[in-house]
Amino acid sequence: MAKTRTVFLCSACGATHPRWNGRCPDCGTWDTLESFREPPAAATAASGAAHGGVAEIWVDPAGAAPVVKATALPDIETVDVARLPTGVAEFDRVLGGGLVPGSVVLLGGDPGIGKSTLLLQAAGRLAAGGRRVLYVTSEESAVQTRLRAERLFEHEPGGGLDGLADLFVLADTSLPRVVEQARQVRPAVMVLDSIQMVFKPDLEASPGSVTQIRRCCTDLVYLAKVSGMAILLVGHVTKDGQLAGPRLLEHLVDAVLSFEGDRHHAYRIVRGIKNRFGTTLEVGLFEMTGHGLRELADAGALLDRSLPTRPGAVICPAVHGTRTLLAEIQALTATGILGAAKRKVSGLDTSRLAMLVAVLEKHGGLRLADQDVFVSSMGGMKVTEPAADLAIALAIAGAHLRRAVPSGTAVVGEIGLGGEVRPVHQLEARAREAARLGFTRLLVGRGGAGTVRIPGLSIEAADTVSDAIDGLDVSSSGGGSASSTRRRRG
């Protein structure tokens, strides 16, 4: 009889080690190694013996095992795989056009953010389109799922649950029983909400543990590959916003999506973190209503145009995939302690902020060494591209000098370490979106003013960050030029 082997699994990188260490030798993180009892069957996982129960459902046990041979790259034949549109356009946008048969997608997000609502709406529209869907809920009963579905679909075309005969609901937590129901239903798409509650009875570990999550996810990935069904998994997140369980969960699946937003606000964003079949630059926009999630085809809904122009607030046209979103960058400076000033960001790159503060001190004439600097991207958006450098710099300078950008002005540009403002890519798309939302002036880097012409929009260039600061509205602080009121070093 084979012995059960105990190894230690790193929850940060997924590496396994024969003994416990305070620090993971692979990724260097501390206190992340957890005990993992590896059952005898796991030793033969590479040959498929560990997944025999899964493989026997779709593979003929009497059939001979296929012979696998290496093939020269030019001799490999490409196959066009048709995607399965979910019917939720913003969700399909992030997926790259729809679900790929045989793929596994992991959706993570804070509790109550709307993960189950989104997937149930997608499952309902798939079923209404003639696709058979198995919705497995491990946290709710079948009755609770039906009540939620009635609320979500009462305003759909057709009304109520009519036309959803191809949507099957299973309330269970045992993975073998889930696989058996999948064998009987034969769905094109299976939704599992959530992976943390599913368990295998033959493992001596509680649901949600590293051992259970690792084995259950591995079996589900193997199930998707041998059956051709697309599987959608819901994953919990920790208090730090990371997906719960080992990072190995993210390495096993084909796509990882993050459902972001504030439960106290209506807007939600679906962002791609990993996607083997498409780009991770796309974002999907939704609004939470009393009847589920409503898609936002117009990205301008995220921008509150009713607020007046004020110091420390700058609008930046940021590009996410194929769409341009106007993000509001806000900054605040406050007197701090020299040598221990704070640099805090939300939705932006921390290291990029430190560089911009240094450029403002060296080339912008601002004294910020004793100032606490706080910068945030409003509306739950994450803006990490260098094209937002100029907007961040002007927001910090405006907050520090108590000056605002002129009314109707949007700002975009990359800042170099020498203080120069460089042009950015896709300037025409950014300019068109700014003009569509009512902006009359766009401040860009040098060399970009004469390349694009948009009716009703004046495109002006700033050669250096100092020139851009001089262009701040002096009326917001009672007169005088911006350069004359800066506090320089010395």
DSSP secondary structure string for all residues of 200-216:
-TTSSS-TTSHHHHHHH
- Which residues lie closer than 8 Å to 180 by C-beta, 6 or more apart? none
pTM: 0.77
Q: Where are the domains of the chain?
A: 1-42, 83-297, 304-485
Tokens of 205: 């570990």
Q: Is the pLDDT of residue 239 over 60?
A: no
Name the DSSP letter for residue 474.
G
Q: Predicted confidence band at 3 (pLDDT cuts at 50, 70, 90)?
A: low
If you average pLDDT over residues 74-82, what whole number do you get? Answer: 82
For 260-269, how does the pLDDT look when each residue is reduced to its tens digit (9 = 90+)? 877 777 888 8
> In 3D, which of 226, 231, 200, 228 has the Cα closest to residue 54?
226
If you average pLDDT over residues 148-167, what whole number do you get? Answer: 82
Q: Is the pLDDT of residue 246 over 60?
A: no
Q: Predicted confidence band at 196 (pLDDT cuts at 50, 70, 90)?
A: confident
411 compared with 202, residue with greater pLDDT? 411
Reduced to 3 states, what is the DSSP secondary structure of residue 54? Answer: helix
State the fold for domain 304-485.
Answer: Ribosomal Protein S5; domain 2 (3.30.230)
- Which residues lie closer than 8 Å to 243 by C-beta, 6 or more apart? 106, 108, 235, 236, 237, 249, 250, 256
Distance spanning both ends of the chain, measured CA to CA: 78
Q: Is the pLDDT of residue 478 over 50?
A: no
Name the DSSP letter for residue 405.
P
Q: Is the pLDDT of residue 417 over 90?
A: yes
State the fold for domain 83-297.
Answer: Rossmann fold (3.40.50)
Q: What confidence score (pLDDT) does residue 172 get?
A: 94
pLDDT averaged over every residue in the chain: 84
For 310-352, how does the pLDDT look when each residue is reduced to its tens digit (9 = 90+)? 899 999 999 887 788 899 999 999 999 888 899 999 888 888 9
Q: What confidence score (pLDDT) does residue 321 get?
A: 77
1 compared with 106, residue with greater pLDDT? 106
Count the neighbouring beta carbons within 10 Å of the beta carbon of residue 31: 11
Q: Which of 70-79, 361-370, 447-456 has the highest mean pLDDT?
A: 361-370
- Which residues lie closer than 8 Å to 62 by C-beta, 6 or more apart? none
Q: Is the pLDDT of residue 103 over 90?
A: yes
Q: Where is average pLDDT lowest: 23-37, 197-211, 223-237?
A: 23-37
Q: What confidence score (pLDDT) does residue 359 get?
A: 95
Tokens of 462: 């700033």
